[in-house]
Amino acid sequence: MAKSDGEVKVLGTWSSPFVMRARIALNIKSVNYEFLQERLWEGKSDLLLQSNPVHKKVPVLIHGHNTICESLIIVQYIDEVWSSAPSILPFEPHERAEARFWAAHLDEKWFPSMRAIGMAEGEDARRAAIGQVEEGLVLLEEAFGECSKGRPFFGGDRIGYLDIAFGCFLGWLRVTEKMTGIRLLNETNTPHLLKWAHRFCSDDAVKDVMPETEKLAEFAKMIMGRMRGAGKS
Amino acid sequence: MAKSDGEVKVLGTWSSPFVMRARIALNIKSVNYEFLQERLWEGKSDLLLQSNPVHKKVPVLIHGHNTICESLIIVQYIDEVWSSAPSILPFEPHERAEARFWAAHLDEKWFPSMRAIGMAEGEDARRAAIGQVEEGLVLLEEAFGECSKGRPFFGGDRIGYLDIAFGCFLGWLRVTEKMTGIRLLNETNTPHLLKWAHRFCSDDAVKDVMPETEKLAEFAKMIMGRMRGAGKS
């Protein structure tokens, strides 16, 4: 099934939800790629700095002579280049617009709130951030109904653009649930998303890329420890 | 040339660069539309609140039964629906990715810096914001060379996605030049962008939509006055 369409490399880290997007999109298209792990705490590689001089961030997709940055742009590029394999974006323009709308909302509003839970100073700030994450999940539960139309994924019968955009945050959502002791995805408020999350994580394109919750929780503790240390110095 | 593909409406304001994107894209495609002006200072219309319940922001494109929010998503929707008219996004996937990258960069980094000039408290903050805007313009001058390949627009021989994304900020850039007394686009640092800006503003799809600098400057003064007033109360 693997395709040989020029050399494909992904610069990234195992823990980044944004890097996971590029890897899942390549898996959906059955494209072989080399995963070059960055060790950001030890300094960014010359290849990363050369490939993404504006933002200096992972993921970067290298495809032959082309470099592509920003995870959602990479996913669209992969969909457009390997267009004969299963489609990632919906076919219909309005459905494409809906998927793009919610994916942008996740990155601009929802994920920053989830990240704010771990970084919150004081119980009030922490509670406010948890509330925003919960409200966002209720909106996404509604969006799931509209986009999936009773099928298993946002994208319909198989994983699509919005599944990738949202699903990549599930590892960090589980870590947040573990740290707060709150079931953010639950039977009461988000019953469809709860089932969708299980389906997403056990999909062939995803299961080898999604980090284990324990390992990610250890990593999160280490990051927060370093940030607090840096804040004190 | 006008097309009748179902009822098309744009909810917006004359002064918003983001609204202008939707209007220019429709003009490029020769699509007739009704422009419904919002008066945001007097309260948002019910139609806006119903059409964009998540962000409650302009622009909103209403096309028959479909509503589409977020300016760059609207431009892509217009390009996909009226696909037989001149293309807005480039054809080649890597060029599409480049155009999307710079458009996202404009919205996430560059325009917030320009807005920060007017809102800066103190000369140091103002200088820092001006410096960021100037650095961003030098990057965009380089991007123009890469994208246009010697042709008149980022999109090649005619206005494309990145032209629309960036060009819509030219009115506010001129207001900022007027208020600071600094020529941000100039022969020394951004000679190609300077010429491009003239071409963009005199294009048939743009000239009736681009606000006059004097009118926009008056509007900017009014907004800043209200914001300072609100800050004091």
The predicted-structure confidence for B53-73, as pLDDT tens digits, reads as follows 999 999 999 999 999 999 999
With an 8 Å Cβ cutoff, is B105 touching chain A? yes
Q: Which of A100, A102, A137, A146 to mutate to test the interface with B (most CBs of B within 10 A)?
A: A100
A74 contacts on B by Cβ (under 8 Å) = 97
| Residue in the block written with tokens 């470099």 | A67
- pLDDT in the model for residue A232: 54
Smallest Cβ–Cβ distance between A54 and the set B77, B93, B105 belongs to B105
- pLDDT in the model for residue A192: 98
B93 contacts on A by Cβ (under 8 Å) = 77, 80-81
Q: Which two tokens stand for residue A223?
A: 């990051």
With an 8 Å Cβ cutoff, is B81 touching chain A? yes
Which of A114-118, B130-134, B140-144, B160-164 shows the lowest per-residue confidence on average (mean pLDDT)? A114-118
- pLDDT in the model for residue A226: 82
Whether residues B94 and A139 touch (CB distance < 8 A) is answered with no
- All structural domains of chain A with their residue ranges: 8-81, 93-215
Residue B227 has pLDDT above 80, yes or no: no
Q: pLDDT-derived band of residue B40, with 50, 70 and 90 as boundaries? A: confident
- How far CA A196 is from CA of A100, A137, A187, B109, B195, in Å, comes to 19, 13, 12, 34, 51
A70 contacts on B by Cβ (under 8 Å) = 100-101, 104
- pLDDT in the model for residue A224: 82
User: Cis omega (within 30 of 0) on the bond before A53?
Assistant: no
A200, A185 contact by CB (below 8 A): no
Residue B219 has pLDDT above 90, yes or no: yes
How far, in Å, CA of B39 to CA of B45, rounded? 8
With an 8 Å Cβ cutoff, is A142 touching chain B? no
B140, B200 contact by CB (below 8 A): no
Burial class (CB in 10 A: 0-12, 13-18, 19+), B180: middle
- pLDDT in the model for residue A231: 60
A216, A171 contact by CB (below 8 A): yes
- pLDDT in the model for residue A85: 83
- pLDDT in the model for residue B1: 39
Average pLDDT rounded to a whole number, residues B14-41 = 95
With an 8 Å Cβ cutoff, is A77 touching chain B? yes
Whether residues B96 and A104 touch (CB distance < 8 A) is answered with no
In whole numbers, what is the pLDDT of chain B averaged over residues? Answer: 94
Mark the ranges of chain A whose per-residue pLDDT is less than 70.
Answer: 1-5, 231-233
Q: How far is A109 from chain B (nearest CA, A)?
A: 10
CATH code for the part of the protein at A93-215: 1.20.1050.10
Smallest Cβ–Cβ distance between A97 and the set B73, B104, B139 belongs to B73
Looking at the structure, give the CATH architecture of the domain made up of residues A8-81: 3-Layer(aba) Sandwich (3.40)
- pLDDT in the model for residue A233: 47
Whether residues A94 and B66 touch (CB distance < 8 A) is answered with yes
Residue B106 has pLDDT above 80, yes or no: yes
Average pLDDT rounded to a whole number, residues B189-210 = 98
With an 8 Å Cβ cutoff, is B101 touching chain A? yes
* Closest residue of chain A to B78, computed from CA coordinates: A93
